[in-house]
């Protein structure tokens, strides 16, 4: 049984057990290792991707239900030449430490800022409840995100 997945605009064919999680397939089969496997239970947010524009914990999504859906992973967000506004703010404020939680943070807030261009500190923190970080203690990440002035579409 082959599942055709559309990831970051590209087609990938998967031939394994379709009950496997999207996270496992991304990392092990397609070597898209930007999404991180940390808690495997949907609490930490390190595996978050976008599916049809919605935040999804990829560790909890069986790959067999994803045919026909648009999957965006961290590899599809920003580029070496041009970070997206969320990545740029985080880089400008020099908030990254070990880095493992940041792909998930970027995915969450890339989506969040599309519908919340001018959030309060509380809004940002509430949106961060599903992105746990062990290194930074969060507040500097929040400061960086609050500095984002949304002028147009986030891509």
Partner 1 sequence: MAKHVDPNDAVMNLPRRDARDKLLGRTKYTIDEGGSGDLHAVLLRAEVPSAKVKKIDLSVARVMPGVKAIATYDDAPGLHGLGIADTPIFVKDVIRYHGEPIAAVAATTLAQAREAAKAIGVVLEEQGAVLTMSEAFADDAALIHPDWADYEIIFEGAERQGNIAWEATVVRGDTDEAFSRSDVTIVEGCYSVGRQSHVSYEPRVALASYVDGRFHIQTSTQVPWTVRHVVAKVLGVPDSHVRVTVPAVGGGFGLKFDCSLEPYAAVLARMTGRSVSIANTRQEEQMTCLCRENAEIRIRSAVTADGEIAGREATVLMDAGAYGGEQVFLSTMTAHTLGGNYKLGSIKLSSLVVYTNTPPNGAFRACNGVYNTFALEQHTDEICKVLGMDPVEFRRKTVLGKGDIGATGQIFEGDVLKPMLDTATKNYGAHENKALPDGRLYGRSTTVGTWFIYVGSSSATINLNSDGSATLVTSGVEIGQGTMVQALPQIVATNLGIHPDDVIVKTADTDASGRDLGVGGGRTTVSVGAASEAACAEVRKKLVATASQLLQTKPDNLFLSKGRVEIKGKPGSGMTIQAVAAQAEADFGPVSGSGSFTNPGILAKPGCSAGHFIDAIDMPVHAVHDCELAVDPETGHVEILSYRVIQDVGRALNPRAIHGQIQGGVVQGLGYALQEEITINKNGAFDQQGFETYRIPTALDVLPVEFVLHEGAPSCGPLGVKGAGEIPILNVGAAVACAVANATGQPVHQLPLTPPRVLQVLEGKDEILNFPHISHVWKDNTIRFG
Partner 2 sequence: MADTTGKQVIVAKNLEEALAALTNMGLSAIPVAGGTWVMRAPVRQEATAQSFVSLHAIEELKGIEATPKELVVGAMVSHRQLAIELSDMADLNAIRVAAEKSANPSVRNMATIGGNLCSTDFMSPDLVPALMVCDATIQVQSASAKTEIAIEDYIESRSVRPKNELVTRIRLPRGLFRSTHQRLMMRKAGEYPVANLSMRLSIDGDGRIADPRIAVASVENQPRRWMSLEDALRGEVASKVATKELAIDQVKEFTGRDGPDAPGWYRLRVLPRLASDALADLMGD
Q: Alpha-carbon Rg of the chain, whole angstroms?
A: 15
Q: How far is CA 152 from CA 62, 114, 121, in A?
A: 34, 9, 21
48 binds partner 2 (CB under 8 A): yes
From 36-44, 114-122, 133-141, 144-152, span contacting partner 2 (CB under 8 A) = 36-44
Shortest Å distance, C-beta 57 to partner 2: 5
116 binds partner 2 (CB under 8 A): no
Q: How far is CA 139 from CA 76, 97, 144, in A?
A: 27, 13, 9
Figure out which of the listed residues 9, 15, 31, 54 binds partner 2, where binding follows CB under 8 A.
54
Shortest Å distance, C-beta 108 to partner 2: 7
């Amino acid at each position: 049984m082959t599942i055709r997945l559309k990831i970051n605009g590209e087609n990938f064919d998967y031939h394994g057990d379709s009950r496997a999680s999207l996270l496992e397939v991304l990392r092990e089969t397609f070597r898209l290792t930007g999404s991180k496997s940390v808690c495997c239970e949907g609490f930490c947010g390190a595996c978050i991707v976008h599916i049809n524009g919605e935040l999804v914990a990829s560790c909890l999504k069986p790959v067999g239900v994803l045919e026909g859906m648009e999957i965006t992973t961290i590899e599809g967000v920003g580029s070496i030449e041009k970070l997206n506004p969320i990545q740029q703010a985080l880089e400008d404020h020099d908030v990254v430490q070990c880095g493992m939680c940041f792909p998930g943070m970027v995915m969450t807030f890339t989506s969040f800022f599309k519908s919340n261009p001018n959030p309060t500190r509380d809004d940002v923190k509430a949106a961060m409840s599903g992105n746990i970080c062990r290194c930074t203690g969060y507040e500097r990440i929040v400061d960086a995100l609050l500095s984002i002035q949304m002028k147009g579409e986030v891509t």
